[in-house]
Amino acid sequence: MIVPLALAVLTFGLVQSTPPALAPPDASWKHVTSNDGSWSVHWRVVIDGAAVDLPLVRKRFTLEVRAVSLRDPALPLRGMLIDAQMPEHGHGMNVAPMVTIAAAGSGSAEGMLFHMSGRWEVDVDLDDGITVERAQWNIVLP
């Protein structure tokens, strides 16, 4: 009984010591570098628990994000904001997604919704406790 418990604790410790963001993402993850080069950011879209290439118009989805500091990989992520806007139209989403930040630089925005076709700019603001740096990318929906 004691041995399995010890293994469980060890396993938990190993998981915690290996930040998810450092784990090699599978092909469903896409990559960007933040606007001042401080963060390596992987992201993917999840609908109904399955990774998909792109969100669908008027279909809720979850955006999963993993970020690791390129200045110091041990630097923890203190906070994260996830939002999206249509710059050509001057508006954002009609919904407020629920952003959850897990340990070791991963987070997700649940309940995102692109309510119309066109270019959406996804903005992820990463807070290391000193500055809040933006990573951004475009998603064009037909």
Partner 1 sequence: MRARVARYTRGVFIAVALSAVLSQAAPQQVPVAVPSSSELAGRYLWQCDALREPVACAITHEGLVAVADASGEIIGISGADGSIRWRSNSAGDERLVAPAGIAAHPDGSLLVSDARRRKVDRFSSAGAWIARFAPNCAIGEPTAIAIGSLQGGATECTAIVDDARHEIALISSTGESLRRITRSDLLLKDGALAIPSTVAFVAPGRLAVGSTDQHAIFLLDLGDGLSPPRVEASWGGRGPFPGLFNQPVGVASDGKWLWIADQFNHRVARQSWTPPTSGEGKLAYGQHAVFPRAGEGAVHYPVAIAVGRNLVRGNGLACERPSLAVVCEPFERRVQAFEPRFDEEPLDLRLILPKLEGVQSHFGAAATIAGGRLFMHDPESATIVVFDLSRGAPIHVSTLSGAGAKPHETGRIDAMVALADGRRLLVADGANKRLALWELTERPKEIIFEPFMGRLVKTRPYARLDLPVDGSIASLAVASVDGAPMIYALSPEGPSIVSLDGSLRTASTALITAPDTTARAVSIACADDGRIGVLYDSPAVIAIYTWRGAQWVPDGTLALPSVGRGCTLSAGNEGAWWVVDRAHDCVQIVTTAGIVRTVGSSGVADGSFWLPSATARAADGAMYAVDSGNHRGQRFGVDGTWQLTFSLGRSYTRARTADEVLRVRTKRDAPAAQGGAR
In the complex, the residues that contact partner 1 under the rule CB under 8 A are 35-36, 38, 81, 83, 87, 90, 123, 125, 129-134, 136
Q: Closer to partner 1 at the Cβ: 13 or 87?
A: 87
Q: Closer to partner 1 at the Cβ: 100 or 136?
A: 136
Q: Are strands 79-86 and 61-69 parallel, antiparallel or unpaired?
A: unpaired
Give me the least distance between CB of 123 and partner 1, in Å please: 7
- Compute the C-alpha angle 43/54/140, nearest 5°: 100
Q: Closer to partner 1 at the Cβ: 83 or 110?
A: 83
Residues constituting the chain:
142
Q: Where are the beta strands (DSSP E) in the chain?
A: 30-33, 39-47, 50-52, 61-69, 79-86, 91-92, 98-101, 106-112, 118-127, 132-141
Give me the least distance between CB of 114 and partner 1, in Å please: 17
